[in-house]
């Protein structure tokens, strides 16, 4: 595990450097990690039979079709705008400007261009997020209609909203245009269920999607029966993460932060697991799942890479389970990735993908540079590529290859 620990240490150093001006941050340390790990283990053991996507997503009762498509990596999330009308303490960005609809760094001035993109890469699910999609209702409705008009009729479409601008007329228009699901962040409205009630019976699937806030766990437990009575289908709990934008707000709440690719809130994870365990114990018939940072960082990124590389790589190229192009021959190994860009990159080595409504610029980037292998290394690398190991490799080269080849199992230990 030496290489793995070296990598984890690099995350610690990177996070401490990035947030060095925030002296009040309380980072998880070796003295309290064991205590917290025992608490989490108690929850995860009771949920072991209902955890999917390599045990990164514990859940109770059921999952939304949208969540399944997300984990399968066949979903595109379009940020309709960058502007929001709520002031949630946990928001990771300012969300003060109205931008062009974007996804994965690509902008879409027209709904036709986005529908063409969905068709070309064969996405099976689409969501509208922001910012707040209802701030620009006509734009959101237009994109929805174009997808229904031009894409596979079976495509599953949902929308994220704080609900502040939601009303019966808007929900009816969205339902008529083919919206399958609406997801409310009731944390933006003081946990009010009024707009949720308005949408139930109009939109086929109604979900509550909120960050898991430790201080609100008991309030959510009390709200569960009312949610079931209203006809809420699912509750999605995602993990709070630390950014420079929300740091001052999160520090006030004395959270414990975990070093990861992005710093995350420990109490948020424990709150999500506690609520799922509670619903299971009391046989509450509502779907609840925990959308951890580790799930998002693994499966969402992997899914997008697979959609792009499977569509654009040459027929003879091999795509790893992590979504990278794998180049292994008699004496070397490398991993690469095709990235899509709106504008020509600062390189002469790019290609163009010209569709009817938009031109994309393709750049084949090196993820793991070409590494020469001797006879012994080739044998060990070949064994690693043929079968996923039970343990993370300790050898630095094998660890780097493992990171490009396989998706790490489970929630990372504290």
For residues 292 and 326, state if they share a domain. Answer: no
352 within domain boundaries? yes
Q: For residue 413, is it within any domain?
A: no
User: Among the three residues 271, 302, 333, which one is the final residue of a domain in this structure?
Assistant: 302
In a domain, 190, yes or no: yes
Give bridge partners of residue 83 from the DSSP assignment.
Answer: 96
Task: Give the residue from 302, 337, 372 where a domain finishes.
Answer: 302
Q: Across-strand partners of 221?
A: none
Residues 20 and 64 in one domain: yes
Nearest to 27 by CA among 41, 245, 18: 18
Same domain, 179 and 240: yes
Co-location of 149 and 83 in the same domain: yes
Same domain membership, residue 328 and residue 236: no
Say if residue 65 is in the same domain as residue 132.
yes
336 shares a domain with 189: no
Residue 357, beta-bridge partner list: none
Output the pLDDT for position 346.
Answer: 87
**Pair (204, 322) in one structural domain:** no
Same domain as 233, residue 97: yes
* Average pLDDT in the chain: 96
Cα gap 205→184, rounded to integer Å:
11
Domain coverage including residue 362: 315-405
Domain boundary among 258, 277, 302: 302
pLDDT in tens, the chain (414 residues): 689 999 999 999 999 999 999 999 999 998 899 999 999 999 999 898 899 999 999 999 999 999 999 999 999 999 999 999 999 999 999 999 999 999 999 999 999 999 999 999 999 999 999 999 999 999 999 999 999 999 999 999 999 999 999 999 999 999 999 999 999 999 999 999 999 999 999 999 999 999 999 999 999 999 999 999 999 999 999 999 999 999 999 999 999 999 999 999 999 999 999 999 999 999 999 999 999 998 988 899 999 999 999 999 999 999 999 999 999 998 999 999 999 999 999 888 899 999 999 999 999 999 999 999 999 999 999 999 999 999 999 999 999 999 999 998 888 899
Q: Alpha-carbon distance 1 to 7, whole Å?
A: 10
- For residue 263, the domain's CATH number is 3.20.20.70
How many independent structural domains does the chain possess? 2
Tell whether 324 and 297 lie within a shared domain.
no
Residue corresponding to tokens 């399958």: 180
Residue 108 falls inside a structural domain = yes
In a domain, 411, yes or no: no
Residue 307 lies in a domain: no
- Condensed to tens digits (0 to 9), the pLDDT of residues 354-404 reads 999 999 999 999 999 999 999 999 999 999 999 999 999 999 999 999 999
209 and 349 within one domain: no
What's the CA angle centered on 375, arms 371 and 379, to 5 degrees? 85
Domain assignment of residue 203, yes or no? yes
Please give the Cα distance from 302 to 225 (Å, whole number).
36
Residue 104 domain-assigned (yes or no): yes
Do 345 and 227 share a domain, yes or no?
A: no
């Amino acid at each position: 595990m030496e290489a793995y620990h070296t990598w984890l240490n690099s995350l610690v150093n990177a996070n401490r450097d990035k947030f060095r001006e925030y002296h009040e941050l309380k980072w998880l340390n070796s003295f309290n990690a064991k205590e917290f790990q025992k608490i989490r283990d108690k929850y995860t053991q009771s949920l072991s039979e209902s955890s999917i996507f390599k045990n990164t997503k514990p859940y109770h009762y059921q999952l939304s079709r949208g969540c399944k498509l997300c984990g399968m990596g066949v979903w595109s999330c379009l940020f309709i705008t960058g502007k929001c009308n709520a002031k949630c303490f946990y928001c990771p960005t300012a969300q003060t400007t109205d931008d062009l609809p974007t996804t994965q760094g690509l902008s879409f001035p027209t709904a036709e261009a986005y529908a063409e993109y969905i068709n070309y890469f064969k996405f099976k699910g689409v969501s509208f997020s922001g910012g707040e999609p209802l701030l620009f209702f006509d734009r959101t409705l237009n994109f929805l209609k174009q997808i229904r008009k031009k894409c596979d009729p079976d495509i599953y479409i949902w929308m994220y909203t704080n609900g502040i601008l939601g009303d019966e007329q808007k929900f009816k228009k969205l339902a008529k245009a083919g919206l399958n699901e609406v997801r409310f962040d009731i944390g933006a409205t003081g946990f009010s269920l009024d707009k949720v009630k308005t949408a139930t019976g109009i939109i086929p699937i109604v979900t509550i999607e909120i960050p898991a806030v430790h201080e609100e766990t008991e309030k959510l437990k009390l709200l569960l029966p009312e949610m079931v009575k209203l006809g809420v289908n699912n509750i999605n709990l995602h993990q709070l993460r630390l950014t420079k934008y929300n740091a001052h707000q999160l520090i006030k709440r004395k959270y414990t932060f975990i070093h990861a690719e992005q710093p995350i809130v420990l109490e948020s994870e424990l709150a999500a697991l506690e609520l799922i365990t509670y619903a299971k114990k009391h046989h509450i018939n509502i779907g609840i799942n925990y959308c951890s940072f580790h799930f998002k960082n693994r499966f969402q990124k992997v899914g997008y890479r697979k959609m792009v590389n499977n569509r654009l790589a040459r027929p003879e190229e091999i795509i790893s389970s992590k979504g990278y192009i794998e180049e292994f021959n008699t004496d070397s190994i490398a991993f690469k990735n095709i990235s899509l860009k709106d504008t020509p990159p600062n390189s002469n080595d790019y290609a163009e993908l010209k569709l009817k409504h938009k031109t994309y610029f393709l750049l084949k980037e090196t993820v793991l540079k070409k590494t020469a292998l001797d006879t012994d290394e080739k044998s060990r690398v070949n064994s690693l590529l043929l079968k996923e190991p039970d343990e993370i490799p300790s050898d630095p080269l094998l660890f780097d290859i493992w990171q490009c080849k396989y998706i790490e199992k489970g929630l990372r230990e504290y």
